[in-house]
Every structure is written in structure tokens, then in C-alpha cells.
Amino acid sequence: MSLTLTSAAFAANGTIPVHLTCEGRDVSPPLSWSGAPEGTQSFVLIVDDPDAPDPAAPRMTWVHWVLYNLPATTTELPEDVRALPPGTREGLNDWQKTGYGGPCPPIGTHRYFHKLYALDTVLPDHINRPTKDELMTAMHGHVLAQVELVGTYRKAG
């Protein structure tokens, strides 16, 4: 069995509902996963947008959400998650805050990659509130499996 990641809010490569974006309630999507490999000790979740600021001429990947040390027993996060599973830590998004920041593309249709990594370790506390890049460095050599779920969004106005 391989690692899978789904959302009850949108299909793979489908449109992310407005209530999960800056034009709505800006709440995190419901996510579910299964198929973690044997030896999984924790999960990492990173949500980012490689199409920033303009999908016709992307210049950066904008990070929307960074979670790490999700317990190996975790198989889902509810929509608008407020209480993270015990032991879960939050990294910094590109607004320099912890927590979820929903899609809010300035122009065009953007892709939002929800990336889940199964790790063979629990990451140390000294990486407190890491950026995506810092977290990716700390994860190096510990990824047992990874999966991604892509959703798209374009502002109405």
C-alpha cells in the first residue's frame, strides 16, 4: 500500500472551495491520509504555491502552511483545524506566522500543493518554528514516503 492523501473539500487537481480561501473564511481544508510505511514515526505537512505571484511568470513558491511532528497515528486533519494532534509543531508560513493561510492569488489560476511526508523520526525541538526550507533540511535522509494533493484556485474578482 502506498501513501495516499485526499480532501473531502476538493478532488485532485480540482478547484479549492472559496470558503477555504482569502475570499471566504480562510480555513484549512479537511485532509485524510492512509498507507503510511512501516517505521513511520511522524508526518510533515507543507502547503505551498509554486505559481507566485503570476502563473505566467512565476518567481517564487509561496508557503501557506507548515506542520511537523504530526504523530504517526494521525490519519486526518478536520476542516478549520483548531486543536492540532498532541506533539504537532508549527513552522512559519510566508506571512511569517504559524497556522494556515489560504489561497489568495493576485492574478491567474494558481496550483496549491498539499505535500505529506512520512518520516522515520520525530524532529528535534531545537528547530522551533522553522521555515519550509529549514524543515526540508531537518527532514533530509528521514523521508520514508511522500505524496501530494494539488488543488487550484482563481479569485472571482
| Per-residue pLDDT tens over the stretch 18-65 | 999 999 999 999 999 999 999 999 999 999 999 999 999 999 999 999
123: containing domain: 4-153
Report strand pairing: 143-153 vs 110-119: antiparallel
Residue 157 pLDDT greater than 80, yes or no: no
Residue 1 pLDDT greater than 90, yes or no: no
Peptide bond before residue 53 is cis, with ω within 30 degrees of 0: yes
Sign for the CA dihedral angle at 51, 153, 15, 43 comes to positive
Q: Kindly state the average pLDDT of the residues 105-112.
A: 97
Question: How big is the chain by its Cα radius of gyration, in Å?
Answer: 15
pTM for the full model?
0.97
Give the angle subtended at the CA of 134 by the CAs of 129 and 138, to the nearest 5°: 100
What is the total count of domains within the chain?
Answer: 1
